[in-house]
Amino acid sequence: MEKSELLEKRIEELEKRILFLEDQIHIKPSTSPPHRPVIQQQEQTKEPVEWDVLIFQKILPPLFIVVFIMGVIWGFKAVSDYGFLQPIVKVIIGYIVGFVLIVLGIWQINKGRKNLGHMLLGGSIPILMLTTFAMHQLYDISGPTLAFILNLMWITLGVFLTFKYRSQGIGIVAIVGGVFVPFLIKSTSPNIPLFSLYETVLFTVFLWIALKYSYKVLYFISIVFLQVAILVFFIFTNVPDGYKWIAMLPIFVQHGALLAILLKTNQMLKEQAYTLFSIMLITAIWIRVIFTDNEATVLMTIITLIYGVCYYVNREDSIRAPIFIANASVTLLNIMQLQTDNLLFEGIIGFIFIYFFIYKKFKHILHLILLSISYIVAFYKVLSFSITGWVSWEMLHWTVFLIGTGYGIYLLTRLFKDKTILNIGVSFVAIMLLYYLHMIAVLVSGDSGSNMERVVTSSLWIIIAILFMVFNRISLPQGKYVGVSILFVTLAKIILFDISFVSVAIKALLFLVLGVVGLLVSRAYYKK
């Protein structure tokens, strides 16, 4: 009984303590079970395709505005063929059609049909330009100055409509037409400074519009079509040496503008970075084609210094820094080819390692691609080198290639932690080493004849097989398999190619040495 009384007292004390604690934290006791919020799983359902919107608002307007423009062109040709209208009447009708499309486009936009309205506005620009072209080129109603001014007006109108209605489609039509305006002007002596200035300003304006409103398609089209326009200009125009710097102004401005925008803005960074690298490649081609070697070297040096400074300032930027290194590597390799062609191969090998360490730091896939492409180029070039002397560029190229390949395989294995890379890489190095040693054997044998060459080659191969097995004992698990494989290759070479040409004494020596080495290897790796 005493125990039960004590237990009851303990329970009462505990209840008092609980009530006291609840009063302290202002929590009222609740006998209801805790409320568990019910999480409603919303089913992710795909929105059904709105076929009416897709067909009548997105597909039909651009398709049939193109059809309409083609109809206008064929209509001009038809009335010209049959002589129904005078040239001045055709031109007036063309301008009327263009302005009617503008009025209809604005009307459709005000009615809420934006896609159709944008297409009508966009279609008016090429019609106005084509009419101006016909007036100038086909009917000789106006001179080149008036035609150029009118086309500038239509391009300005396209820019205004793009701004006002935030339409990428109108901007695309305006830039495509605007880029080729100079080619629509008939002239016996093209004004190169005016052409360069016009194309430069046009590109800059539309590039700014594209970045301001994040118009990716307009961004790429403005870049591509400027390059196309300059290419067409150089193909069909005989540009004197004194004007080549002016004619190349749009290319340099484009490159500089893309670099400045990448440095200053954060819009479409990846697109900007890859575009800048592509433009760097194209700019390098332009420089090599248009300018002399010394001029090209100066330009490449300036570009290299600019990208070096840009990299230093943005060396921790994971997007900008890798692109700056890639662009600088393009110019440096060009400089090496222009001034020290014999060291170009070593430059390629050096940049392979630079690409590797940049990839390791930033994990930028572009540098892994550049690394692969550079190594393929180096591999292709090294196979074309035949070692003809102990002190020669070919000897240097082959030695650097083998050492670089071995070290590169080691780095890749450590980075990706994949034994497959090591297995394949060691086998590849062994094959290249056998070919290298064969060329060394040719140098060693000199004028002694082919028999000595065969003996020296087999001897060197046996030595390298032993070395691979020694490395197996140190730190190369694949060494014993590669070494044994080389021994088998050496044996096959002796049986298939050498045995018919060498003397009995040399045959005996080769087989004795190879047999002893094979038995020693078997004993070294024999396990009970």
Annotate 436-502 with DSSP letters as a single string.
HHHHHHHHHHTTS-HHHHHHHHHHHHHHHHHHHHHHHHHT-TTHHHHHHHHHHHHHHHIIIIITTTS
CA 443 to chain centre: 43
Q: Mean of the per-residue pLDDT values for the chain?
A: 79
Give DSSP secondary structure letters for 36-95. PPP-PPPP--PPPP-HHHIIIIIIHHHHHHHHHHHHHHHHHHHHHHHT-S-HHHHHHHHH
CA distance 255 to 323: 14
Higher per-residue confidence, 187 vs 136: 136
Contacts for 429 with CB less than 8 Å, ≥ 6 apart: 402, 405, 406, 409
Burial status of residue 13 (CB atoms within 10 A of its CB: 0-12, 13-18, 19 or more): exposed
What pTM was computed for the model?
Answer: 0.72
Higher per-residue confidence, 144 vs 229: 229
Whether 30 has a pLDDT exceeding 50, the answer reads: no
CA distance 59 to 119: 11
Which of 260, 264, 273 is closest to 365 using CA atoms? 273
- What pLDDT does 239 receive? 86
Which of 433, 364, 422 is closest to 398 using CA atoms? 433
Q: Collapse the DSSP code of 9 into the 3-class scheme (helix H, G, I; strand E, B; otherwise coil) and give the result.
A: helix
Could you tell me if 237 and 190 are in contact, meaning their C-beta atoms sit under 8 angstroms apart?
Answer: yes
Contacts for 478 with CB less than 8 Å, ≥ 6 apart: 422, 423, 426, 427, 472
Contacts for 305 with CB less than 8 Å, ≥ 6 apart: none
* Mean pLDDT, rounded, for 225-238: 89
Tokens of 107: 């009307």
State the residue for tokens 């050096």: 350
Q: How confident is the model at residue 40 (pLDDT cuts 50, 70, 90)?
A: very low
CA 335 to chain centre: 21
CA distance 103 to 94: 15
Whether 514 has a pLDDT exceeding 90, the answer reads: no
CA distance 422 to 476: 9
Percentage, residues of the chain above pLDDT 90: 21
* Mean pLDDT, rounded, for 298-302: 94
Buried-exposed string 365-402: b where 16+ CB fall within 10 A, e elsewhere: ebbeebbeebbeebeeebeebebeeeeebbbbbbebbe
Each residue's pLDDT tens digit, 64-75: 556 666 666 666
Tokens of 167: 């339409």
Tokens of 518: 């094979």
> ∠ CA 503-504-508 to the nearest 5 degrees?
120
